[in-house]
Amino acid sequence: MGIAGLDGIEYFAGLETLSCHNNRLSKLDISHNTALTYLDCHSNQLTELDVSKNSSLRVLTCSYNRLAALDLSGNATLTNLDVGYNHISSLDVKINTRLQWLDCKSNQLARLDVSAITNLYWLDCRYNNIRQQNDVEGWQKATNFHFSPQNA
């Protein structure tokens, strides 16, 4: 079952934590929730997620959706990111240098560059279109690295 919409969420401008996982959300407008530091919207039906106005986000969990892209260029404070089980073909985390946890498994990534991230504890990029370990630039910096090469 679950809820299908979060109408009125824009009136909670000071909201810091939002957990709306395991629902039927097909859209989520958090552009007015600029104080958000924690967003967990996994296991919904989201096809897009705009976090460009949420520059305070530290934790973002949006796995198990239908996202094809995710722009994180305005989220330099992210420390934990889980985008697994989507349809993402490109993920730019160059500005997200504070990431400690990155889970991007089961997407459509062919390459990933984590070389700018200095304190990466967890990196899981299994089940993508990545053919060899060196297609994950900077993987050596991760304390825990999970990878499975895909055949051509």
pLDDT at site 1: 65
**Model's pTM, two decimal places?**
0.95
Identify whether the C-beta of residue 86 lies closer than 8 Å to the C-beta of residue 105: no
Per-residue pLDDT, 151:
59
Domains of the chain: 1-152 (3.80.10.10)
* pLDDT for res 17: 98
Burial class (CB in 10 A: 0-12, 13-18, 19+), 7: exposed
Average pLDDT, the chain: 95
Q: What parts of the chain have a pLDDT lower than 70?
A: 1, 151-152
DSSP annotation string for 106-127: SS--S-EE-TT-SS--EEE--S
pLDDT value for 34: 97
